[in-house]
Amino acid sequence: MCGIIGYVGPRPSQDILISGLARLEYRGYDSAGIAVIDGEGSLGTRKRAGKLQVLRDDLAAHPLTDGTTGIGHTRWATHGGPTDANAHPHLADDDKLAVIHNGIIENFSELKSELVAEGYTFRSETDTEVAAVLLGREYQASGDLTQAFRATVSRLEGAFTLLALHRDQPGLVVGARRNSPLVIGLGDGENFLGSDVAAFVEHTRHALAIGQDEIVAITPQEVTVTDFSGAAVEVEPFEVVWDAAAADKGGWSSFMAKEVSEEPEAVANTIRGRVHDGLVQIPELEGLDELFTGIDRIIVIACGTAAYAGMVGKYALEQWARVPVDVELAHEFRYRDPVIGARTLVVSISQSGETMDTLMAVKYAREAGAKTLSICNTQGATIPRESDAIVYTHAGPEVAVASTKAFVAQITALYLLALHVGRVRGALTDDAIAEQVSQLEAVPEKIARVLASEQEHIEQFAHWMADTRSVIFLGRHVGYPIALEGALKLKEISYIHAEGFAAGELKHGPIALIEPGQPVFVMVPSPTSSPLLHAKVVSNIQEIRARGARIIAVAEEGDAAVLPFADEVLRIPLAEPLFEPLLAVVPLHVFAMGLATAKGLDVDQPRNLAKSVTVE
Ligand code: AGP
């Protein structure tokens, strides 16, 4: 969850570091710091607990040197509280070496004991300082920062991205990664390192992905990548499709408001380039048919909102590809000793591509012999690089902690995958595929219609409901994961208790929660394409209405059956059952945002949460 940036080039690095850290704020943090070396070989560093503005104010009052080599860090506390002393960078080798770190060094305490026994002292409680002191000791032995890194990382266990600079080597920043993100930005006479491309996208979109257990040394003119043994390795260049403006709020009140408004284009952009003559063709999957012909089962693994996207995708995968699908929470999957092997395809879903629970589950699946496919929104992220195949969502940068446009993009990618697998396995005719493709291609415009027609109405009654203390969400079939997603969104940004249920579960317990005035959102299936389910849900509505519930129905345009029982009806355009979730979720995203805003809360950076959970 920490943010990392490194810079070497002709320009003063301080402002580059701070603006890069500002674009990484969304990762969630509680302290920030930078280190800069100038041409005279002096190393300046400044670090402060709190938000980036605290560091900015301090630097404004007491600027660092105008050095052109620098590293910067935003810290999410794991070992040691958010204090100035525990903030990064950490210094070593007589304060000539500065180190920043993202991840957790699992064996730091035994390393610390070893170093203390050798007479080293420590100024913080962090695992990072142990790595810094170890690196300093190795640098004293070799006088070469890259060699010192090689000797150090071989002693570390756990997950880490480390960056360091040394006063005696201006113009050089060295980094290493294991189970934690790091990408390279290639400039003209300058180079960058970042925990993700947002760190440097305002300066360059030319990037290189660094693989597992690799070390990178950057100077203004050169980038050298080697493995932990010192052997040169191939790196994958890629173009960042986001530009600096895309990663900015663009005048919206919040990143979340901007990203909800982008839900139509997130779907459209995820489809783009993957449909030709009405048929699905996913370039990333060309030549990989055996991934789908040789399997007899798919397991979808993810966390949070991504898992709910997987629950929706299950219906399409089973209906179109005719392959049994299970959806599991990644952190449960890995510890239940699952029965998987070469005929299992494990599909991971992750917006950030760095969620440690999901990453470790993917690595577990690979070690167990399963094939792996990553659905991810972040190019060059760790999970896609650990997978046999990738289908990127193209939702663009999602900065708000609450995932919205990535969710609809994930469902879209799963549908494209399901149609692709259906074709490869001969389970779908071209005509059947073309029919579903045309339904999918109609979704962006339908989402836009929901936003245009309902957003203001939803924000209004969200305002009236600002004092609500709990909300229930009900759904059936593909509406059930949407109920779960609606509840999660509300919980995570408005801090209100909310729970999603399968509507059929009501009589098996949850109906005891219903008392007069209890707000209940109900996802109502289409009366035209799901008449049986529609009737069941309408009777569920009557049951809770009879007990005083306040019903907010998400129902298809023209559905009059809900009118006698609903206090509010939010209309969505007519769509086939599998495409309704993409429309029904939009009012729930808007509602959660409206209620959090009405409560005066920070919708982008809710308390206790980070955008990417890169620790287990
Ligand atoms: C969703 O709004 C939450 N922020 C959270 O549940 C998130 O979906 C989950 O942590 C998975 O993140 P990922 O998609 O980056 O793996």
* DSSP line for 42-75: -EEEEEEES-HHHHHHHHHHS-----SEEEEEEE
Q: Which helix (H) or strand (E) holds 357?
A: helix 356-367
Of 166, 169, 199, give the one whose Cα is nearest residue 182. 199
**Cα dist from 247 to 31, 259, 358, 549, 605, whole Å:** 22, 10, 25, 41, 15
Can you give the three-state secondary structure of 369-436, one letter per residue? CCEEEEEECCCCCHHHHCCCEEEECCCCCCCCCCCCHHHHHHHHHHHHHHHHHHHHCCCCCHHHHHHH
Q: What is the 18 CA–ligand 1 centroid distance (Å)?
A: 26
Closest-CA residue, ligand 1 atom 8, reads: 305
Please name the helix (run of DSSP H) or strand (run of DSSP E) that holds residue 104, with its range, or none.
strand 97-105
Give me the domains of the chain, ranges plus CATH numbers: 3-246 (3.60.20.10), 251-441 (3.40.50.10490), 446-608 (3.40.50.10490)
Alpha-carbon distance of 387 to 372, in angstroms, equals 5
Looking from the CA of residue 492, the nearest atom of ligand 1 is 2
How confident is the model at residue 29, as a pLDDT?
Answer: 78
Alpha helix locations (H) across 476-579? 479-494, 531-545
Reported in sequence order, the residue ranges of 233-321 that DSSP labels E, i.e. its strands, are 236-239, 275-276, 279-280, 297-302
Show the low-confidence residues of the chain (pLDDT under 50): none
State the closest ligand 1 atom to the C-alpha of 410, by its place in the atom list counted from 1.
14
pLDDT score for 379: 76
Q: Which candidate in 2, 112, 363, 491 is catalytic?
A: 2
Of 96, 489, 491, 611, catalytic: 611
Do 350 and 330 form a contact (C-beta atoms < 8 A)? no
Residue nearest to atom 5 of ligand 1 (CA): 304
Known active-site residue 376: no
Structure tokens at 593: 């945002």
| Ligand 1 pocket at CB < 6 A | 303-306, 350-352, 355, 358, 401-403, 492, 612-613
User: Relative to the CA of 355, which ligand 1 atom is closest?
Assistant: 16
Per-residue DSSP letter, 202: T
Q: Is 491 a catalytic residue?
A: no
352 C-alpha vs ligand 1 centroid, how far in Å? Answer: 8
Distance from residue 197's CA to the centre of ligand 1 (Å): 19
Spatial distance between the Cα atoms of 178 and 590, rounded to a whole number of angstroms: 38
Distance of CA 302 from the midpoint of ligand 1 (Å)? 8
Taken as a whole, the chain contains a residue count of 616
Query: Which residues have CB under 8 Å from 79's CB, separation 6+?
Result: 86, 104, 108, 125, 126, 127, 128
Distance 410 CA to ligand 1 centre (A): 12
Best mutation site among 254, 347, 355, 374 for ligand 1 pocket (most ligand atoms within 8 Å of CB): 355
| Substitution candidate for ligand 1 out of 26, 379, 490, 613 with most atoms within 8 A of CB | 613
Ligand 1 centroid, distance to 500 Cα (angstroms): 17
Give the per-residue pLDDT at 200.
94
